[in-house]
Structure 1
Amino acid sequence: MKESRRDRLDDLYRHYARPLYYYLYKMSGSKETAEDLTQETFIKATVSLSFYKQEDVRAWLFKVARNAYLDEWRKRQRRNKIPFAGYLFSRDEMISPYGLPEDEALNKESKEKVADLMSCLPEQYRSILYLREFESFSYSEIQEALDLSENQVKVTLHRARKKLAQLADEQWREKHD
């Protein structure tokens, strides 16, 4: 492997391994699966890097990661196992030693509620919301990562937010009836 290519791959790994891992962890709900899929993403990136233009590597890597996740999910579906997509967020996140414990408890509860609501969304809605809200992807980056047109990104994001709000409203009503 050429030195410049190896340096390029090292740079990519240093910059994107952690965000890709967190994305795959949020999608799969499994640390082990996220680790495996992150490795698989970089293996595919190593093979395909020479064919890819340097325009927007971040969106391309997230697209590769999403496809790796979907392939794994489909394999598990075929084996008739329970799909792991429903376990979107970890319930046992570490609480920061800084700040007030009450604030941390409220933040954790809010994150759990959002995680529960997002786990009810279809995969495409979860993906688009995660990329936009957690990874701060631009519309053009989402467009490339999810293979959508600009209008499809806007419409899907709007529908995902609307569905999430609808689920939150339904949950609130059930709780207060």
Structure 2
Amino acid sequence: MDRQSYNELDQIYRRYAEGLYYYLLHLSSSPSLSEELVQETFYRATISLSRFKHQEVKPWLYKIARNTYIDEWRRRKRWKWVPFFERKEMVSPYGTPEVEMVHKENIQELEEILQLLPENYRTIIYLREYAGFSYEDIQEAMDLSEGQVKITLFRARKRMKELSKRWRG
């Protein structure tokens, strides 16, 4: 790899690694696994650079990250791996403890509801709502048509609402 390619890869890593980490953390609920998957994503991206067709880098990397996550999930499922949630307590310097507790419970409830969704629903909601992907970027990242993106996003949101209603009881 020449110096220019190395510099380009370094810039891409610096620009997208954090976003990929949070995306993978959202899918896996494990900080350590997310770090490993980010490394694996960039490893696979480096290997497949020759097949990269100068498309948008961000959706391409998220597609690789999603496939990396799915491969890891399948591998662990074979070994009947049961994920555990690593939760670190964070104390907010703002607001009252009561407000912070309600906020924390709402976030936890949302995370738990999201974990009940199928992977493709979690991914599409994350890409659209958290990562701010356009429909076009989601199409590329998930290998879907524009219609499939809209339908899947609609169904994912609908399913999430249903689960939320049941959750609250």
Bin the TM-score by the shorter chain: over 0.9
Counting only pairs closer than 5 Å after superposition, residues 6-25 of structure 1 correspond to structure 2 as 6-25=6-25
Distance in structure 2 (CA, Å) of the matches to 1:95 and 1:69: 30
After superposition, what is the alpha-carbon deviation per residue over 1:139-170, rounded to whole angstroms, capped at 9, x for unaligned? 11111111111000000000000000001111
Q: Is the alpha carbon distance of 1:93 and 1:51 closer, same or farther for their aligned partners in structure 2, counting shifts above 3 Å? A: farther
Matches within 5 A, 1:21-36: 21-36=21-36
Question: Structure 2 length as normaliser, TM-score?
Answer: 0.93
Task: Using the TM superposition, give the Cα deviation of residue 91 of structure 1 relative to its aligned residue in structure 2, in angstroms.
Answer: 4.0
Partner of 1:135: 131
1:167 lines up with 2:166 in the alignment: no
Partners of 2:109 and 2:123 lie apart in 1 by: 17
Letter in 2 for 1:172: R
The one-letter code sitting in structure 1 at the alignment partner of 2:66 is R
What is the letter of the counterpart of residue 135 of structure 1?
Answer: A
Superposed, which structure 2 residues align to 1:1-177 within 5 Å? 1-82=1-82, 84=83, 91-173=87-169
* Partner Cα separation in structure 2 for residue 140 and residue 99 of structure 1: 39
Q: Deviations over 1:70-100 (max 9, x none)?
A: 0000001111222x3x85xx64352332344
RMSD: 1.6
Structure 1, unaligned runs of 5 or more:
none
Q: Is the 8 A contact 1:21 1:35 kept in 2?
A: yes
Structure 2: how far apart are the matches of 1:42 and 1:99? 39
Change (3 A) 1:93 1:21: farther
- Post-superposition offset of 1:32: 1.3
Structure 2 distance, partners of 1:49, 1:26, is 26
CA contact (8 A) 1:91 1:112 kept: no
User: CA–CA distance in 1 between the matches of 2:45 and 2:96?
Assistant: 42
Aligned residues between the structures: 169
Work out the CA distance in 2 between the residues paired with 1:158 and 1:22: 23
Task: Report the TM-score when normalising by structure 1.
Answer: 0.89
Structure 2's unaligned 5+ residue stretches are none
| Secondary structure at 1:137 match in 2 | coil
